[in-house]
Amino acid sequence: MELIFKVYRHDPTAGTKPALESYPVSLPDGATVLDGLLQIRDRHDGGLAFRAACGRGFCGECTLRINRSGKLACITRVAQVAKDGEVTVEPVRNITVLKDLVYDVDELLWQKIAWVEPWLRPATAQPDGGYVIPDAELEPIRKAMSCYYCGLCDEGCSVIPFDRRFSGPAALTKAFRVVFDPRDGAARERLKRLGEPRGMWDCVHCYEANEHCPRGIDPTDRIFDLRDKAVELGVKSGTANPQVARHYDSFAASVRQSGWLDEGRLALETWGLGRLGELLPMAWRALRRGKLPVPYLHRKRPGAEWIRRIFDKVEKRS
């Protein structure tokens, strides 16, 4: 195969602007994008910087944007992604580039993973002979344990392009892994921390992460698992964002009471009187358009008492 690789080149220390450079490559059928990069480094420019290690899709080291979509270079076949004989290779988005295709993984991943305190905080001292965990107890976290920190879920994340501080699905998957570890005894404290701004409540649950994860970990569902656990343990927000807990409580209270959502009440109870000044013009605009649901004037749905009973049973169980 004769192709053109368009490769992102940038050396921030040289003060030049980033640019896509074109390189001709000649590859056998079945070659990967990593093969192409290695050839460019051998034949055209020994200074091309990129990361790769295992070359087999096991280590998650070579995450790049290939033809505008996040992929591992070592398992992405050129023939499958080339468009009109071209392959574009760039670093992942929204990240500081150190040189060419090498970006600051510390900023993308490690600092965020450190924020979730990815170490066990056991409830009891380690027993003699170590912990013995029945297989079934480890089953729910086994998939998450296979995460190799490729960062593809963060690359596809809907929030990070708007807010680089967001902890992101990779770190939250790690958080899931420790919160649900049967040896860990700090779920409540952890969930409080994860509930603060930049944590799990900042996730828009758009399911992009599920689509991007090559390990089938379904990070969005793991974030839902964390949130559900937080609700179960009564830690529905951090300290800096109490409106998140008020939102949950108001939502649940109105569905519990009438079977469906009282949106007017939800707005009022979530924001309280503190933002009344700000909310009033919006409310006025909505009122004029006949859009404002009047809080608390909310008819019960037929059969609402059965919905209430569902809430009661779940609460009793937890």
Partner 1 sequence: MSYAFYPGCVSRGGCPELYPSAVKVAGRLGLGLEELTDVGCNGAGVLSRAVSDPINARTFAKAEARGLTQLMTICSTCTGVMGGANLRLKEAPAYRERINREFLAEERLAYQGSVDVKHLLWLLVEDYGLDRLRAEVRRPLKGLRVSPFYGCYIRRPDGILEGKPARKRYLEMVIEALGAEVTDFGGKGKCCGFPVLTANEPNSMAMVAAHTGEAKSKGAECMVTPCPLCHLNLDGGQPRAAKMKGTAIDLPILHLPQLIGLALGFSAEELHLKRHIVPTRQVAEKVSLLT
Q: Which of 150, 187, 226, 255 binds ligand SF4 (CB under 6 A)?
A: 150
| Residue 220 interaction partner, one of partner 1, ligand SF4, none, beta carbon < 5-8 Å per kind | partner 1
Burial level of 295, CB count in 10 A (0-12/13-18/19+)?
Answer: middle
The listed partner (ligand SF4, partner 1, none) that binds 100, CB under 5 to 8 Å by sort, is none
CA angle 2, 150, 57 (to 5 degrees): 50
Distance in Å, CB of 202 to partner 1, minimum: 5
215 binds ligand SF4 (CB under 6 A): yes
- Interface with ligand SF4, residue 70, by CB under 6 A: no
Give one DSSP letter per residue of 6-59, joined into a string.
EEEE--GGGTPPPEEEEEEEE--TT-BHHHHHHHHHHHT-TT-----SSSSSSS
**Which member of 36, 151, 259, 264 binds ligand SF4 (CB under 6 A)?**
151
Structure tokens at 34: 């990593």
Q: CB–CB of 261/247 below 8 Å?
A: no
Reading the block at residue 22, the tokens are 């074109």
Residues 35-54 within binding reach of partner 1 (CB under 8 A):
none
DSSP for 108-133 reads: IIIHHHHHT--S--BSSPPPTT----
Return the DSSP state at 158.
Answer: S
Q: How far apart, in whole angstroms, are the C-alpha atoms of residue 229 and residue 187?
A: 9
Regarding 216 and contact with partner 1 (CB under 8 A), the answer is no
Q: How far is the CB of 97 from partner 1 (least distance, A)?
A: 22
Give residues 254-293 in contact with partner 1 (rule: CB under 8 A). 255, 259-264, 270, 282, 285-286, 289-291, 293
Based on the shown chain and the rule CB under 6 A, indicate whether residue 72 belongs to the binding site for ligand SF4: no
Q: Which residues bind partner 1 (CB under 8 A)?
A: 158-159, 162-163, 166, 197, 201-208, 210-211, 218, 220-221, 224, 227-228, 231-232, 241, 243-244, 247-248, 251-252, 255, 259-264, 270, 282, 285-286, 289-291, 293, 301-304, 306-307, 309-311, 313-314, 317-318
Q: Which residues bind ligand SF4 (CB under 6 A)?
A: 60, 147-153, 169-170, 173, 212-213, 215, 217, 219
